[in-house]
Amino acid sequence: PDLVVEIGTYWQVPAPLEEEYRLVFFFWDEQGQLVHIQPEERALHWYPTWLWEPGQVIEARLPPLPVGDLPHVGVAVLRPGADDRDLEGRVTPIVIPGPQITSLWEQDTILELTEP
């Protein structure tokens, strides 16, 4: 049976947003092949990004996914109307330095997620 994963992310905006952005999660295998794309649809449907306040912490959580033992998971922020695979439609994330080493992929548009 496939390994089931639950992923939760936390977000803050440095300034008010005027548009509704989307979060999309990417899953790669050991060879670096993209095997699954999963948009986050629940949190942002009920609390769209244009309502977020600076300094407020927003949790976005995916439902449990049977994706197997994939070594790499990343997340991207997409502008309104952008396709999931559109590099030009992604926002470059601001990474806050912390105890964990983070990596950016695909021209610094996807943030690799790590276990806490």
User: Which tens digit of pLDDT belongs to each residue from 72-97?
Assistant: 889 999 999 999 999 999 998 877 77
**CB-CB neighbours of 9 under 10 Å:** 16
Residue whose structure tokens are 């949190």: 43
Q: Which helix (H) or strand (E) holds 116?
A: none
Average pLDDT over residues 16-22: 93
Average pLDDT over residues 15-34: 90
In the prediction, which pLDDT does 42 show?
Answer: 82
Q: Which residues span the domain enclosing 54?
A: 4-113
What is the reported pTM? 0.85
Q: Phi-psi region for residue 99, left (φ > 0), alpha (ψ -120 to 50) or beta?
A: alpha
Number of domains in the chain: 1
Cα–Cα distance for residue pair 83/74, rounded to 1 Å: 16
Output phi, psi for 8, to 5 deg. Answer: -125, 140
Average pLDDT over residues 58-76: 84
Tally of CA atoms within 13 A in the half-sphere of 28 that contains its CB: 14
Q: Which of 56, 98, 108, 99 is nearest to 77 (CA)?
A: 108
pLDDT band at 43 (very low <50, low <70, confident <90, very high): confident
